[in-house]
Amino acid sequence: MNFDAILFDMDGLLIDSEPVWHEVEVELIEACGYRYAEEVRELGIGMRVDEFAVILQTHYPKLGDSPAAIEQAITERMLQLPAERIQARPGAEAIIRYAADNAIPRAIASSSSQVIIEHFVHLLGWDKWLPQRYSAEFVPHGKPAPDIYLHAAGQLGMRPARCLALEDSRAGTKAALAAGMTCFTVPDLSHSTLDDFAQLNPHVFRSLDEALDEVIEKRLFA
């Protein structure tokens, strides 16, 4: 098993942002007099915001006049967060720098909008290490459809089967596998457990450091 490129999800994998997204959603929903149900939240993990906004409007109709208005409200709040609220997940910088130092073709393949991706990457100073950044907003279907992974591989000029994807969510893992890629899943324990992936993916790791150890020890990019 060897690979030519590595594709990174962003939220919940490289950046500890899932709890922040959740806080923003709770604030918006509770301000309209609703209680944010956990089962509704789970539906949106790993999805594009515009697609999740359709679900939110169905459950919480007073949240906005349209899914587009809900998406805009969420995005604006995320962009207004203090910079210190956006933190890298443990091991994220190490695996990014490993890819950069070894000239491994790499990209972000995220469900977040392009403006959110650019904002987060810039805040963390990763621009030079992750120059290729792709949003699922520009493909027909978001995760769990494979579109964003196929798009990112195409932009890198790589065959999907030669790409290693790193993910934290079930939707993202399904997307990478549907694209024909090997996926290393590092669950974000703010919304998942290791057992959640037992029947989905044989490659599940407790941390990004553990995933990087696997890459190095097995010389997956040799």
Per-residue pLDDT at 43: 87
Rounded-to-integer distance, Cα 91 and Cα 53, Å: 31
| Paired strand residues for 109 | 134
Per-residue pLDDT at 46: 85
Give me the percent of the chain exceeding a pLDDT of 90.
91
Per-residue pLDDT at 134: 98
Closest CA to 191 of 9, 11, 10: 11
Tokens at 3, concatenated: 């690979």
Q: Which CATH architecture has domain 5-16+87-217?
A: 3-Layer(aba) Sandwich (3.40)
Domain boundaries along the sequence of the chain: 5-16+87-217, 18-83
Residues of the chain with pLDDT under 70: none
For 1-26, the pLDDT digits (tens) are 899 999 999 999 999 998 999 999 99
Per-residue pLDDT at 110: 97
Model's pTM, two decimal places? 0.92
Which CATH fold would you assign to the domain 18-83? DNA polymerase; domain 1 (1.10.150)
- Secondary structure letter of residue 11 according to DSSP: B
Rounded-to-integer distance, Cα 65 and Cα 137, Å: 21
29-36 long-range contacts (CB < 8 A, ≥24 apart) are 29/56, 29/60, 29/63, 32/60, 32/62, 32/63, 33/62, 34/59, 34/60, 34/62, 34/63
For 50-71, the pLDDT digits (tens) are 999 999 999 999 999 999 999 9
Per-residue pLDDT at 200: 96
For 147-162, the pLDDT digits (tens) are 999 999 999 999 999 9
